[in-house]
Structure 1
């Protein structure tokens, strides 16, 4: 099982359904709305803290199993 990481939402475009998360102490990772683990409308807000697993998508590293940290 992959290690859960934390980071901050750099930006997220609700109409396009994707954005980027800056990993704590690391690089930016792509995030798609389908990877967000919440009920209802799946979106993220700029500056929001999140937990996630780093995976690899078609275009490189991406955040998966993303969940907001309260």
Structure 2
């Protein structure tokens, strides 16, 4: 089973362009799931479980709005 997503797989799951993922990873990492810490920091990888957890919290309803 695959453990990590690369930037193209993450972009597909999030509905974003790969360039947006790279830009956000560099300039606005809070807009993405937490990156996996690998030996080579230039490799952009994300744990599948972390991505799924992040997507669940981002898309979860925040309750009634007033």
TM-score by length of 2: 0.31
Name the one with the larger strand percent.
1
Larger radius of gyration: 2
TM-score, normalization: structure 1? 0.30
Which structure shows the higher helix fraction?
2
